[in-house]
Structure 1
Protein backbone atom coordinates (compact mmCIF):
# COMPACT_ATOMS: atom_id res chain seq x y z
CA UNK A 1 0.00 0.00 0.00
CA UNK A 2 1.48 3.31 -1.09
CA UNK A 3 0.64 6.73 0.33
CA UNK A 4 -1.02 7.87 -2.95
CA UNK A 5 -3.17 4.74 -3.06
CA UNK A 6 -4.13 5.21 0.59
CA UNK A 7 -5.25 8.76 -0.20
CA UNK A 8 -7.31 7.50 -3.13
CA UNK A 9 -9.00 4.89 -0.93
CA UNK A 10 -9.62 7.58 1.69
CA UNK A 11 -11.39 9.65 -0.99
CA UNK A 12 -13.71 6.75 -1.73
CA UNK A 13 -14.38 6.20 1.98
CA UNK A 14 -15.29 9.88 2.34
CA UNK A 15 -18.17 9.56 -0.16
CA UNK A 16 -20.72 8.05 2.27
CA UNK A 17 -19.52 10.51 4.93
CA UNK A 18 -20.24 13.37 2.52
CA UNK A 19 -23.74 12.05 1.82
CA UNK A 20 -24.59 11.59 5.51
CA UNK A 21 -23.23 15.00 6.52
CA UNK A 22 -25.08 16.65 3.62
CA UNK A 23 -28.40 15.38 4.99
CA UNK A 24 -27.79 15.61 8.73
CA UNK A 25 -29.89 18.41 10.27
CA UNK A 26 -27.29 20.29 12.27
CA UNK A 27 -26.10 23.85 12.03
CA UNK A 28 -23.49 24.37 9.31
CA UNK A 29 -23.89 20.85 7.93
CA UNK A 30 -23.45 22.22 4.40
CA UNK A 31 -20.14 23.84 5.38
CA UNK A 32 -18.97 20.52 6.76
CA UNK A 33 -20.07 18.74 3.56
CA UNK A 34 -18.18 21.33 1.51
CA UNK A 35 -15.12 20.82 3.72
CA UNK A 36 -15.24 17.07 3.15
CA UNK A 37 -15.50 17.58 -0.60
CA UNK A 38 -12.71 20.17 -0.63
CA UNK A 39 -10.48 17.85 1.40
CA UNK A 40 -11.17 15.04 -1.09
CA UNK A 41 -10.37 17.38 -4.00
CA UNK A 42 -7.07 18.34 -2.39
CA UNK A 43 -6.15 14.69 -1.76
CA UNK A 44 -6.71 14.08 -5.47
CA UNK A 45 -4.01 16.59 -6.31
CA UNK A 46 -1.74 15.42 -3.47
CA UNK A 47 -1.93 11.73 -4.37
CA UNK A 48 -0.98 12.44 -7.98
CA UNK A 49 1.87 14.68 -6.91
CA UNK A 50 3.19 12.15 -4.40
CA UNK A 51 2.88 9.25 -6.82
CA UNK A 52 5.08 11.07 -9.33
CA UNK A 53 7.45 12.62 -6.78
CA UNK A 54 8.01 9.42 -4.77
CA UNK A 55 7.99 7.11 -7.78
CA UNK A 56 4.94 5.32 -6.37
CA UNK A 57 2.84 5.16 -9.51
CA UNK A 58 1.03 1.81 -9.60
CA UNK A 59 -1.41 0.09 -11.94
CA UNK A 60 -3.89 -0.07 -9.06
CA UNK A 61 -3.57 3.68 -8.50
CA UNK A 62 -3.88 4.43 -12.22
CA UNK A 63 -7.16 2.49 -12.20
CA UNK A 64 -8.60 3.65 -8.88
CA UNK A 65 -7.69 7.37 -8.90
CA UNK A 66 -9.99 8.37 -11.78
CA UNK A 67 -12.74 6.11 -10.41
CA UNK A 68 -12.54 7.86 -7.02
CA UNK A 69 -12.67 11.28 -8.68
CA UNK A 70 -15.64 10.43 -10.87
CA UNK A 71 -17.54 8.87 -7.96
CA UNK A 72 -16.98 11.88 -5.71
CA UNK A 73 -17.93 14.43 -8.38
CA UNK A 74 -20.94 12.46 -9.62
CA UNK A 75 -22.36 11.84 -6.17
CA UNK A 76 -21.83 15.46 -5.13
CA UNK A 77 -23.61 16.66 -8.29
CA UNK A 78 -26.52 14.29 -7.67
CA UNK A 79 -26.84 15.68 -4.14
CA UNK A 80 -26.74 19.23 -5.49
CA UNK A 81 -29.33 18.57 -8.22
CA UNK A 82 -31.82 17.87 -5.46
CA UNK A 83 -31.05 21.18 -3.73
CA UNK A 84 -30.60 23.32 -6.84
CA UNK A 85 -33.59 22.00 -8.75
CA UNK A 86 -33.42 24.21 -11.81
CA UNK A 87 -33.21 23.30 -15.46
CA UNK A 88 -29.85 25.03 -16.01
CA UNK A 89 -28.24 23.42 -12.98
CA UNK A 90 -29.54 19.98 -13.91
CA UNK A 91 -28.32 20.40 -17.51
CA UNK A 92 -24.84 21.38 -16.31
CA UNK A 93 -24.75 18.36 -13.98
CA UNK A 94 -25.94 16.06 -16.79
CA UNK A 95 -23.27 17.41 -19.15
CA UNK A 96 -20.53 16.85 -16.57
CA UNK A 97 -21.69 13.36 -15.59
CA UNK A 98 -22.39 12.34 -19.20
CA UNK A 99 -18.96 13.48 -20.33
CA UNK A 100 -17.31 11.43 -17.58
CA UNK A 101 -19.11 8.31 -18.80
CA UNK A 102 -18.25 8.96 -22.46
CA UNK A 103 -14.58 9.73 -21.80
CA UNK A 104 -14.20 6.76 -19.43
CA UNK A 105 -15.67 4.43 -22.05
CA UNK A 106 -13.48 6.00 -24.74
CA UNK A 107 -10.34 5.55 -22.64
CA UNK A 108 -11.21 1.94 -21.90
CA UNK A 109 -11.82 1.20 -25.56
CA UNK A 110 -8.64 2.99 -26.64
CA UNK A 111 -6.66 1.03 -24.03
CA UNK A 112 -7.98 -2.21 -25.55
CA UNK A 113 -6.63 -1.01 -28.89
CA UNK A 114 -3.27 -0.15 -27.32
CA UNK A 115 -3.86 3.56 -27.92
CA UNK A 116 -4.53 4.80 -24.36
CA UNK A 117 -1.97 7.61 -24.72
CA UNK A 118 -4.10 9.10 -27.52
CA UNK A 119 -6.67 10.08 -24.89
CA UNK A 120 -4.40 10.83 -21.94
CA UNK A 121 -5.45 13.60 -19.58
CA UNK A 122 -4.98 16.98 -21.23
CA UNK A 123 -4.36 20.44 -19.84
CA UNK A 124 -7.95 21.44 -20.59
CA UNK A 125 -9.11 18.39 -18.61
CA UNK A 126 -7.10 19.57 -15.61
CA UNK A 127 -8.55 23.09 -15.86
CA UNK A 128 -12.05 21.61 -16.16
CA UNK A 129 -11.45 19.56 -13.02
CA UNK A 130 -10.29 22.62 -11.07
CA UNK A 131 -13.42 24.58 -12.07
CA UNK A 132 -15.62 21.60 -11.15
CA UNK A 133 -14.05 21.21 -7.73
CA UNK A 134 -14.31 24.92 -6.94
CA UNK A 135 -17.94 25.14 -8.11
CA UNK A 136 -19.06 22.00 -6.28
CA UNK A 137 -17.32 23.04 -3.06
CA UNK A 138 -18.98 26.46 -3.19
CA UNK A 139 -22.41 25.06 -4.03
CA UNK A 140 -22.17 22.51 -1.22
CA UNK A 141 -21.25 25.28 1.23
CA UNK A 142 -23.93 27.84 0.51
CA UNK A 143 -26.98 25.84 -0.41
CA UNK A 144 -29.52 26.75 -3.09
CA UNK A 145 -30.74 29.94 -1.51
CA UNK A 146 -27.66 31.37 0.09
CA UNK A 147 -27.76 34.53 2.15
CA UNK A 148 -25.52 36.11 -0.44
CA UNK A 149 -27.04 35.87 -3.91
CA UNK A 150 -23.77 36.97 -5.48
CA UNK A 151 -22.01 33.89 -4.02
CA UNK A 152 -24.59 31.56 -5.50
CA UNK A 153 -24.41 33.36 -8.86
CA UNK A 154 -20.60 33.12 -8.83
CA UNK A 155 -20.76 29.37 -8.10
CA UNK A 156 -23.23 28.91 -10.96
CA UNK A 157 -20.93 30.80 -13.35
CA UNK A 158 -17.99 28.61 -12.30
CA UNK A 159 -20.13 25.45 -12.71
CA UNK A 160 -21.34 26.52 -16.17
CA UNK A 161 -17.75 27.30 -17.12
CA UNK A 162 -16.81 23.80 -15.95
CA UNK A 163 -19.64 22.37 -18.08
CA UNK A 164 -18.40 24.23 -21.17
CA UNK A 165 -14.82 23.08 -20.49
CA UNK A 166 -16.21 19.59 -20.00
CA UNK A 167 -17.71 19.58 -23.48
CA UNK A 168 -14.59 21.13 -24.96
CA UNK A 169 -12.31 18.54 -23.37
CA UNK A 170 -14.61 15.73 -24.54
CA UNK A 171 -14.40 17.05 -28.10
CA UNK A 172 -10.59 17.17 -27.81
CA UNK A 173 -10.51 13.54 -26.65
CA UNK A 174 -12.95 12.41 -29.33
CA UNK A 175 -10.96 14.17 -32.06
CA UNK A 176 -7.76 12.49 -30.85
CA UNK A 177 -9.49 9.11 -30.85
CA UNK A 178 -11.18 9.66 -34.21
CA UNK A 179 -7.94 9.01 -36.10
CA UNK A 180 -7.64 5.60 -34.44
CA UNK A 181 -11.36 4.90 -34.85
CA UNK A 182 -11.16 5.59 -38.62
CA UNK A 183 -8.07 3.38 -38.91
CA UNK A 184 -9.78 0.53 -37.02
CA UNK A 185 -12.87 0.73 -39.26
CA UNK A 186 -10.93 0.28 -42.51
CA UNK A 187 -11.70 -2.99 -44.29
CA UNK A 188 -8.85 -5.49 -44.19
Structure 2
Protein backbone atom coordinates (compact mmCIF):
# COMPACT_ATOMS: atom_id res chain seq x y z
CA UNK A 1 0.00 0.00 0.00
CA UNK A 2 1.47 3.29 -1.11
CA UNK A 3 1.06 6.35 1.11
CA UNK A 4 0.03 9.56 -0.63
CA UNK A 5 0.79 12.98 0.68
CA UNK A 6 -2.05 15.44 0.57
CA UNK A 7 -0.77 18.55 -1.12
CA UNK A 8 -3.47 21.21 -1.17
CA UNK A 9 -4.06 23.35 -4.20
CA UNK A 10 -2.12 26.61 -3.93
CA UNK A 11 -5.28 28.68 -3.55
CA UNK A 12 -6.56 26.45 -0.71
CA UNK A 13 -3.16 26.60 0.99
CA UNK A 14 -3.20 30.41 0.80
CA UNK A 15 -6.72 30.51 2.25
CA UNK A 16 -5.74 28.08 5.02
CA UNK A 17 -2.74 30.27 5.87
CA UNK A 18 -5.09 33.25 6.28
CA UNK A 19 -7.22 31.17 8.62
CA UNK A 20 -4.09 30.27 10.59
CA UNK A 21 -3.07 33.93 10.75
CA UNK A 22 -6.07 34.76 12.98
CA UNK A 23 -4.78 32.93 16.09
CA UNK A 24 -1.31 34.32 15.38
CA UNK A 25 -2.80 37.82 15.43
CA UNK A 26 -4.52 37.08 18.73
CA UNK A 27 -1.31 35.66 20.20
CA UNK A 28 0.70 38.69 19.08
CA UNK A 29 -1.73 41.20 20.57
CA UNK A 30 -2.44 39.29 23.78
CA UNK A 31 1.28 38.77 24.39
CA UNK A 32 1.98 42.47 23.90
CA UNK A 33 4.15 42.07 20.83
CA UNK A 34 4.88 45.20 18.80
CA UNK A 35 1.95 46.49 16.73
CA UNK A 36 4.10 46.18 13.62
CA UNK A 37 3.61 42.41 13.85
CA UNK A 38 -0.16 42.76 14.01
CA UNK A 39 -0.09 45.24 11.13
CA UNK A 40 2.02 42.82 9.07
CA UNK A 41 -0.42 39.98 9.78
CA UNK A 42 -3.39 42.11 8.71
CA UNK A 43 -1.54 43.17 5.55
CA UNK A 44 -0.75 39.50 4.85
CA UNK A 45 -4.37 38.46 5.39
CA UNK A 46 -5.66 41.18 3.07
CA UNK A 47 -3.10 40.36 0.38
CA UNK A 48 -3.76 36.62 0.68
CA UNK A 49 -7.48 37.23 0.19
CA UNK A 50 -6.75 38.80 -3.18
CA UNK A 51 -4.03 36.28 -4.07
CA UNK A 52 -6.02 33.12 -3.33
CA UNK A 53 -8.95 34.23 -5.48
CA UNK A 54 -6.68 35.23 -8.34
CA UNK A 55 -4.71 31.97 -8.05
CA UNK A 56 -7.83 29.81 -8.03
CA UNK A 57 -9.35 31.55 -11.06
CA UNK A 58 -6.15 31.78 -13.09
CA UNK A 59 -5.30 28.11 -12.50
CA UNK A 60 -8.85 26.86 -12.90
CA UNK A 61 -8.87 25.61 -9.31
CA UNK A 62 -12.17 27.05 -8.17
CA UNK A 63 -13.60 24.40 -5.86
CA UNK A 64 -16.50 23.82 -3.48
CA UNK A 65 -14.02 23.68 -0.58
CA UNK A 66 -12.45 26.99 -1.59
CA UNK A 67 -15.86 28.60 -2.03
CA UNK A 68 -16.69 27.75 1.58
CA UNK A 69 -13.24 28.15 3.16
CA UNK A 70 -12.40 31.56 1.64
CA UNK A 71 -15.28 33.55 3.16
CA UNK A 72 -14.91 31.65 6.45
CA UNK A 73 -11.22 32.58 6.59
CA UNK A 74 -12.08 36.23 5.97
CA UNK A 75 -14.79 36.24 8.62
CA UNK A 76 -12.62 34.49 11.22
CA UNK A 77 -9.73 36.88 10.61
CA UNK A 78 -11.88 40.02 10.59
CA UNK A 79 -13.85 38.93 13.67
CA UNK A 80 -10.60 38.14 15.50
CA UNK A 81 -9.14 41.53 14.57
CA UNK A 82 -12.25 43.45 15.59
CA UNK A 83 -12.52 41.54 18.88
CA UNK A 84 -8.86 42.28 19.68
CA UNK A 85 -9.33 45.99 18.92
CA UNK A 86 -12.33 46.00 21.25
CA UNK A 87 -10.31 44.15 23.89
CA UNK A 88 -7.39 46.57 23.82
CA UNK A 89 -9.65 49.65 23.73
CA UNK A 90 -8.68 50.82 20.25
CA UNK A 91 -12.36 50.57 19.36
CA UNK A 92 -14.38 52.13 22.17
CA UNK A 93 -17.34 54.39 22.90
CA UNK A 94 -19.91 54.72 20.15
CA UNK A 95 -17.56 52.94 17.74
CA UNK A 96 -18.36 49.69 19.55
CA UNK A 97 -21.67 49.82 17.66
CA UNK A 98 -19.83 49.60 14.32
CA UNK A 99 -17.84 46.64 15.62
CA UNK A 100 -21.03 44.95 16.85
CA UNK A 101 -22.71 45.43 13.46
CA UNK A 102 -19.73 43.87 11.70
CA UNK A 103 -19.49 40.93 14.10
CA UNK A 104 -23.23 40.23 14.02
CA UNK A 105 -23.37 40.47 10.23
CA UNK A 106 -20.44 38.11 9.77
CA UNK A 107 -22.02 35.50 12.05
CA UNK A 108 -25.49 35.81 10.50
CA UNK A 109 -24.32 35.75 6.89
CA UNK A 110 -21.98 32.82 7.53
CA UNK A 111 -24.89 30.79 8.87
CA UNK A 112 -27.11 31.93 6.00
CA UNK A 113 -24.54 30.98 3.36
CA UNK A 114 -23.89 27.60 4.97
CA UNK A 115 -27.63 26.93 5.00
CA UNK A 116 -27.89 27.95 1.35
CA UNK A 117 -25.02 25.62 0.44
CA UNK A 118 -26.68 22.80 2.38
CA UNK A 119 -29.74 23.37 0.19
CA UNK A 120 -27.59 23.08 -2.93
CA UNK A 121 -27.41 26.78 -3.75
CA UNK A 122 -24.16 28.44 -4.84
CA UNK A 123 -24.31 31.17 -2.13
CA UNK A 124 -21.72 33.23 -3.96
CA UNK A 125 -20.35 36.51 -2.70
CA UNK A 126 -21.50 39.76 -4.26
CA UNK A 127 -19.18 42.52 -5.47
CA UNK A 128 -20.57 44.77 -2.75
CA UNK A 129 -19.70 42.14 -0.13
CA UNK A 130 -16.16 41.93 -1.55
CA UNK A 131 -15.88 45.71 -1.22
CA UNK A 132 -17.11 45.39 2.38
CA UNK A 133 -14.39 42.84 3.12
CA UNK A 134 -11.75 45.10 1.58
CA UNK A 135 -12.93 47.99 3.76
CA UNK A 136 -12.86 45.76 6.84
CA UNK A 137 -9.24 44.83 6.11
CA UNK A 138 -8.41 48.51 5.48
CA UNK A 139 -9.97 49.50 8.82
CA UNK A 140 -8.03 46.77 10.62
CA UNK A 141 -4.81 47.84 8.95
CA UNK A 142 -5.32 51.47 9.97
CA UNK A 143 -6.43 50.61 13.52
CA UNK A 144 -3.57 48.19 14.18
CA UNK A 145 -1.00 50.63 12.78
CA UNK A 146 1.70 51.33 15.33
CA UNK A 147 2.07 54.68 17.05
CA UNK A 148 3.66 56.74 14.33
CA UNK A 149 3.45 60.53 14.33
CA UNK A 150 0.24 60.24 12.31
CA UNK A 151 -1.28 57.72 14.74
CA UNK A 152 -4.22 59.94 15.73
CA UNK A 153 -5.06 60.66 12.09
CA UNK A 154 -4.73 56.97 11.12
CA UNK A 155 -6.93 56.03 14.06
CA UNK A 156 -9.62 58.54 13.03
CA UNK A 157 -9.50 57.38 9.42
CA UNK A 158 -9.58 53.76 10.58
CA UNK A 159 -12.70 54.39 12.64
CA UNK A 160 -14.35 56.17 9.71
CA UNK A 161 -13.54 53.22 7.44
CA UNK A 162 -14.87 50.86 10.13
CA UNK A 163 -18.20 52.74 10.07
CA UNK A 164 -18.33 52.57 6.27
CA UNK A 165 -17.61 48.82 6.47
CA UNK A 166 -20.37 48.51 9.10
CA UNK A 167 -22.79 50.29 6.78
CA UNK A 168 -21.88 47.98 3.92
CA UNK A 169 -22.20 45.06 6.33
CA UNK A 170 -25.82 46.02 6.97
CA UNK A 171 -26.60 46.55 3.30
CA UNK A 172 -25.02 43.26 2.20
CA UNK A 173 -26.70 41.35 5.03
CA UNK A 174 -30.11 42.64 3.92
CA UNK A 175 -29.30 41.75 0.30
CA UNK A 176 -28.20 38.23 1.29
CA UNK A 177 -31.37 37.69 3.32
CA UNK A 178 -33.44 38.91 0.38
CA UNK A 179 -31.61 36.56 -1.99
CA UNK A 180 -32.16 33.67 0.40
CA UNK A 181 -35.84 34.49 0.86
CA UNK A 182 -36.34 34.69 -2.89
CA UNK A 183 -34.27 31.51 -3.33
CA UNK A 184 -31.94 33.20 -5.83
CA UNK A 185 -28.22 33.08 -5.20
CA UNK A 186 -25.95 34.08 -8.05
Q: TM-score range by the shorter chain?
A: 0.7 to 0.9
Q: 1:152 aligns with which of 151, 155, 166?
A: 155
Is 1:121 aligned to residue 151 of structure 2? Answer: no
Aligned to 1:45: 50
Indicate conservation of the 8 Å contact 1:146/1:152, yes or no: no
Deviation >4 Å, runs of 4+: none
Task: Give the corresponding residue for 2:21.
Answer: 14
Instruction: Map 1:47-86; keep pairs closer than 5 Å.
Output: 47-83=52-88, 84-86=90-92
**Matched residue of 1:105: which SS?**
helix
CA contact (8 A) 1:96 1:166 kept: yes
Identify unmatched segments of 5+ residues in structure 2.
1-7
- Could you tell me how far 1:36 is from its partner in structure 2? 0.8
Give TM-score scaled by structure 1 length.
0.85
For 1:166 and 1:66, how far apart are their aligned partners in 2?
A: 14
Gaps of 5+ in 1: 182-188
1:105 maps to which of 91, 97, 111? 111
Structure 1 residues 137 and 168: CA distance shift in structure 2, 3 A: same
Assess if the C-alpha contact under 8 Å between 2:74 and 2:133 holds in 1.
no
- Structure 1 distance, partners of 2:114, 2:31, is 37
* Structure 1 residue 113: Cα displacement: 2.9
Sort the Cα spacing of 1:148 and 1:76 in 2 relative to 1 into closer, same or farther, 3 A.
closer
- Once residues 91 and 154 of structure 2 are traced to their aligned partners in structure 1, the CA distance between those partners, rounded to angstroms, is 17
Deviation at 1:14, TM superposition (A): 1.7
TM-score, normalised with respect to structure 2: 0.86
The count of residues paired between Structure 1 and Structure 2 equals: 176
